[in-house]
Structures are given as C-alpha cells and as structure tokens.
Amino acid sequence: MADLEKFRTEAHQWLFDNSPSSVRGLTLALGEGNWGGRKATYANPDMKHWLEVMAERGWTAPEWPIHYGGGGLSKAEAKILREEMARLKLPESLSGFGLTMIGPTLLEYGTEEQKREHLPKIVRGEIRWCQGYSEPGSGSDLASLQTRAVLQGDYYIINGQKVWTSYANLSDWMFLLVRTDPQAKKQEGITFILMDMSTPGVEVRPIKLISGSSPFCETFLTDVTVPAKNVVFKVNHGWTVAKALLNHERTMIAAAFGSGVGRRRTIRDWARDYVDFVGERVADAALRQRMVQYEMDNLAFKLTTDRARDAAKAGRLPGPESSMFKIYGTELNQRRQELLLSIAGPQALGWEGSGFEERELSLTRDWLRSRGNTIEGGTSEVQLNIIAKRVLGLPD
C-alpha cells in the first residue's frame, strides 16, 4: 500500500509538471479526442505536446509492456494514474482504435514481429487505424463477407468493398477481414489481415449522414497487394481474432456512449437554460424524475464498466458479456438525447438559420446521430442473441 501511495504522489507531481496548463480542464466531445496519425491536426497545439510527453513515458498505454512502448504499470497503478488525471482535469492524451481495439488484439494474437512493428507506433500516436469489417451485403451477418484475398507468392491480392468504415479518410492502416477460402463454411474461410491505407488500389469515399456529418466511409479495394506476413493468427482462422476484437470494440462503444466522459455540459446544465426551477429543483416533476433516473442509471453503468475495465487490466479479457455493455451503453445515450430534446423543447427543432444557437443545432444533429448507436458495432438484436447463447447458455 505504501508503494501505491508513493506512486500516486509521484504520478500526480509528474502530471502536474509535464501537462500544459492549457489542456487542464479541457473537455472533448465524442470524436474530438487526440487520435494521432499522419493526418492529425490540432486545434490546440498543446495537445500534440501532451501526447508526446505521455507517449515518451509510455502512459498513453500505461498497462502495455514496456518493451512495446507501454508504461508497464500494474492494474492498481493504472487505476491511480486515471484518478490523478481526473483530479487534474486532464484529457486523454491519445484515443482511437489503435489503443482500444487492434492493440489489445495484437497483444493476444499477433506475432512478435507484428507487435514490435505496430504497438510502439500506436503508443506514440504515429499511426491511426480503421476497421474493415462490414460490407454492403454483410452487416449483421458479418460472416457472409465477400471481400476476397488470393495468395500470390508472399502477398495477398485483395478485391472487394467495405462500408461504414469509421474515419477511413483520416486513417493510415486498416485491420480487415477477408475471405481466403470461398469453399469453406462461412466462419471457417475468413482471415484477419493488416493493410497500409496508402497501398495502390485503396479508394475511400466519405458517406454523408442525415445529421450532416461524415464519420463513415466506403472503402474500395482493387487488386490491393498486402504482404502475407500481415496475417494475424492463422489463415482461415480470422473469425477467432474478429470475435476477440469485437469484444474490445463493444466495451469501448459502451464506455464512450454511456459514461459521458468528455461532455461539456451536464443534463442539469441544459435544464438551467431551458426549464423552470423552484429553488434548486426542476419545477416539472415528471421531467425531474426522468433526469434523476437517467443520472442514477448513468452512474451505475459507469461504475460497472470501470469494474469491467479493472478486470480486463488484471488479465481477464473482455468476453461475450461486452454485448450487455454495448446494448445498455448505446440505449443509455439514446435516452440522454431524447431527454435533452424534452428539455430544450422547440429550440431542439432547428436545422439552420437564425433563431438557434450553435449548441442547439448540434443537439439536433446529435439526436439524429444517436439513432445509429444501436446499429453500429453489431445491432442490439445481434447482441441479444450473443447474450442468450454465450452468456446465458440458452439453446438455439
């Protein structure tokens, strides 16, 4: 215990001494974090410095092994580090699919060469990753994917199309699923492979959503040459790797949508601007009950995901129970957006023009965007099937 308290003191002092004052108290909305990569831009230049000093210490991935660039911290030390960052109101120095999805998957399934090539670059924020899973005809039935990879010597030639590829236009590398044995059963002919997005034959087209933003893309692959050494685990055994990564993804989605980390304004902040109060209480009893219930549920969910994260750091990797987190977290975010509409009333109906503040127009778009939460990362219906079969052990 004394060693942990010593670590807490030293970590707090180091964070205080090395974090730029301009990033303290800086809150970042979902998608606004420091994702790194070759195309990274920084609205606040100090965020780049914050990334660099944390990466040098290995604290962008504090629990990863030191020899892969991580911090080598224990579970307890990593938890203390998060607590001290919260005390100083410091934002995450790095976020993205490298840290939350492909990195943990490579630690479990990657070759030593793959780990040494990719993990240090992830820690330093040098490479941004995207995910190549869904296809136009393979959404919920992901195992029906048709993107083909044919072995020619030491390379695979890949042809096909991926869709809903988040931030593909800003990414440097993609981890993707390809079909390497079209004669095998669906899940048995799939391979997990890593691809440099700058390879000739890769074309990315952003998709414009009803909300007006374009976080998603289509990715077209035409005779793309990828080294065979980029296969993760075994050829035709990619489904095993894919499921492991999906567990990480669903846990990440749940935490991002459900916990409220990085939100600039609380439910109560919104209410103070739009509804009547009697003293410190919202006057409308029904609305007050909805607000309280949401806050209680959100806090309970955050504490639950924190415990799950601590368990993962102790060596228990996310399993099928991540589907429960994904369902609850995404539905919780939809509840939040519906509640904000009720609070803002007519001011939540704007799209453009005078009469609406920028935050009100963002509220409208955020509500529209939240409709996709229970679809992306596997629909809620798919998650319920996973829970029934793999968590509860119910018969087909």
d(CA 217, CA 262): 25
pLDDT of residue 30: 54
Kindly report, residue by residue over 267-325, the tens digit of the pLDDT: 999 999 999 999 999 999 999 999 999 999 999 988 888 777 666 554 556 677 788 88
Give the list of residues 6+ apart from residue 5 with CB closer than 8 angstroms, or none. Answer: none
* 102 touches 175 (CB < 8 A): yes
CATH class of 129-236: mainly beta
The torsion of the CA quartet 248, 156, 161, 250, rounded to 10 degrees, works out to 0
pLDDT of residue 98: 96
- Residues annotated as catalytic (active site), given as ranges: 249
d(CA 79, CA 63): 10
Reading phi first (left if > 0) and then psi (alpha if -120 to 50, else beta), residue 98 is in alpha
pTM of the model: 0.84
Q: Quick check: do 129-236 and 240-391 share a fold?
A: no
Cβ neighbours, 10 Å, residue 87: 12
Helices (H), 314-379: 322-344, 358-370
CATH of the domain spanning 240-391: 1.20.140.10
Give the CATH superfamily of 2-123: Acyl-CoA dehydrogenase/oxidase, N-terminal domain (1.10.540.10)
pLDDT of residue 262: 46
pLDDT of residue 109: 97
Kindly report, residue by residue over 342-393, the tens digit of the pLDDT: 999 999 988 888 899 988 988 888 898 888 888 887 888 988 998 888 888 8
Rounded to 10 deg, the angle between the 267-274 and 322-344 helix axes is 10
* Regions of the chain short of the pLDDT cut 50: 261-262, 314
For the chain, the structural domain boundaries read: 2-123, 129-236, 240-391
Task: Select from 217, 174, 182 the least CA-distant residue to 198.
Answer: 174
pLDDT of residue 358: 87
pLDDT of residue 47: 93
